[in-house]
Structure 1
Amino acid sequence: MTVSVSNPAQTAAIGDGTGLVGLRERVRLAGGSFHAGPRDGRFEVVARLPYDSE
């Protein structure tokens, strides 16, 4: 399963930055992969998680 969010890039940091760190850790613990960062003038977050339909 892939979850992706892309928003206009911000010029200033918002928050304390721990939200993405926690999300990255949870995705990793579930056996998935995680990316967060700028892409094509936007900020993108992509999480890929293993999914078994059975």
Structure 2
Amino acid sequence: MGAIPVRPAEVQVIVVPHEDRSITYTMTALSTAPVDPAFEEAVEEIFSGVQITD
């Protein structure tokens, strides 16, 4: 199959206190293009719009 090329990724980790514990949410966005301004803009919009509620 061949080697998987290096690809840029952005990760957002959200830690939410819950009772006597914490819950961790992780979101990852991965692109096949080394630089794609449209992708970066879309990821920023998605990540900034995330809301976690009970």
TM-score under structure 2 length normalisation: 0.28
TM norm structure 1: 0.28
Larger Rg: 2
